[in-house]
A and B are shown apart, each in its own frame.
Chain A
Amino acid sequence: NAGVTQTPKFQVLKTGQSMTLQCAQDMNHNSMYWYRQDPGMGLRLIYYSASEGTTDKGEVPNGYNVSRLNKREFSLRLESAAPSQTSVYFCASRALLGTGELFFGEGSRLTVL
């Protein structure tokens, strides 16, 4: 069982470059999420998708875009990377609205120089 798979696991960018973080889940979950984790800040929600075809902003959406390509895949795009976006990014999925727990990927460590 792969669960939630994120790629790439590590990436170094220069300021102004763009990139896309890919996430796929094989658990037939409806909801998918992108979080960023920074020391002392916990996990902050960037965007989420409650179902295929819908996306909503979380706590810190500025500088990011998302695409829910299909039920399995939810990508996060940085159009013009900034050093403040240096972080560890986690994708997660969830089976049931309201009660289901999140299942997390292993994370993607992004450094913006």
Chain B
Amino acid sequence: AQSVTQLGSHVSVSEGALVLLRCNYSSSVPPYLFWYVQYPNQGLQLLLKYTSAATLVKGINGFEAEFKKSETSFHLTKPSAHMSDAAEYFCAVSNMNRDDKIIFGKGTRLHILP
């Protein structure tokens, strides 16, 4: 069964600083991995996804993530934080089998300090 662990339920960074949100996964088969963002009182929208092509994946709003199989990680980064990046971020995993579950981590709330 798949699972996702997001380290840090809250992360604070200064505006202009590097954003790093951590995600580790567990999967018995090669995974597909996703990062979603949720702004207050809204649904979730996709930031980026890894589907076994390039290990470095670029997403919207300047975010990117690197798939590292040896570390079972899929950390999300952005070189320079903006106030508008304040939101909750979720990492999710899916397997390539016919079992079509998508399992989410508990989320990391990103705070941007002026």
Which chain A residues have a beta carbon within 8 Å of chain B's beta carbons? 4, 31, 33, 35, 40-45, 48, 50, 56, 58-59, 90, 92, 94, 97-99, 101-102, 104-107
Which chain B residues have a beta carbon within 8 Å of chain A's beta carbons? 6, 9, 32, 34, 36, 42-46, 49, 51, 90, 92, 94-98, 100-107
In the complex, the answer to whether A35 meets B104 with C-beta atoms within 8 Å is yes
In the complex, the answer to whether A98 meets B96 with C-beta atoms within 8 Å is yes
Query: Roughly how many angstroms separate A50 CA and B98 CA in the complex, as a whole number?
Result: 9
Residue A107 contacts which of B9, B43, B97 (CB distance < 8 angstroms)? B43
Residue A43 contacts which of B49, B95, B104 (CB distance < 8 angstroms)? B104
In the complex, the answer to whether A48 meets B90 with C-beta atoms within 8 Å is no
Query: Beyond the given A97-B100, A99-B96, A106-B43, could you list 20 further A-B residue pairs with CB under 8 A, ordered by the A residue number?
Result: A4-B43, A33-B102, A35-B104, A42-B90, A42-B104, A42-B107, A43-B90, A45-B104, A50-B98, A59-B103, A92-B44, A94-B100, A94-B102, A98-B94, A98-B100, A101-B34, A101-B46, A102-B44, A106-B42, A107-B42
Residue A42 contacts which of B95, B100, B106 (CB distance < 8 angstroms)? B106
Residue B100 contacts which of A43, A50, A101, A104 (CB distance < 8 angstroms)? A50
How far apart are A57's CB and chain B's nearest CB, in angstroms?
10
Q: Are A90 and B103 also in contact (CB < 8 A) when A50-B98, A101-B49 are?
A: no
